[in-house]
Amino acid sequence: MTRKSDSLQRTREDRRSLKTLCRSGTSKNRQHPRARILDLLDRKVPPAASATPLSCALSTVYNVKRRSEAEGVAAALSEKPRSGRPIESEGTQRAKLPALACSPAPAGQARWSLRLLADTAIALGFVDHLSHPAVKAILKKTACART
């Protein structure tokens, strides 16, 4: 069974906002192609012909069209929040960890270990809980050497 390819009908305000988004280069990475898809569909360009110049899949065109029909233009242009666990530590908490790693190692230790850094950060009250793999990820992003 083939998909319906009838065009979308937009209000004058929606057309104006889509054209503004298509012309400006300040939109988000995924918002610009979605605006172009909606603009092409509004001009009665078939979905298969809309996907080719934008280098996107035909299913993307149909998904944007379906979401626009169901929830409106603004919902079709924006993304829904993604699933996954949010980052628990804030930027100030993350900034204290590399500073701790760059400080001299505690007495009796040759250098900071990941577990020692995690335990010390909890003891000093930087964070409530922190695992050593999380310490590794934070230090990797800041290019901090523990030696």
pTM to 2 decimal places? 0.51
Tens-binned pLDDT, residue by residue, of the chain (147 aa):
455 545 456 667 776 777 776 666 665 677 888 888 888 888 888 988 988 888 889 999 999 899 888 888 888 888 888 787 766 667 777 888 888 998 899 999 999 999 999 999 999 988 888 889 988 988 888 776 655
Contact 68, 102 (CB under 8 A): no
Could you please report the per-residue DSSP string of 42-89?
Answer: HTT--HHHHHHHHT--HHHHHHHHHHHHHH-HHHHHSPPPPPSPPP-S
- CA 42 and chain centroid, separation: 28
Contact 126, 97 (CB under 8 A): yes
Per-residue model confidence (pLDDT) at position 1: 45
Per-residue model confidence (pLDDT) at position 8: 58
Residue (of 90, 84, 86, 83) closest to 128 by Cα position: 90
Q: What angle do CA 55, 75, 32 make, to 5 degrees?
A: 35
Per-residue model confidence (pLDDT) at position 44: 85
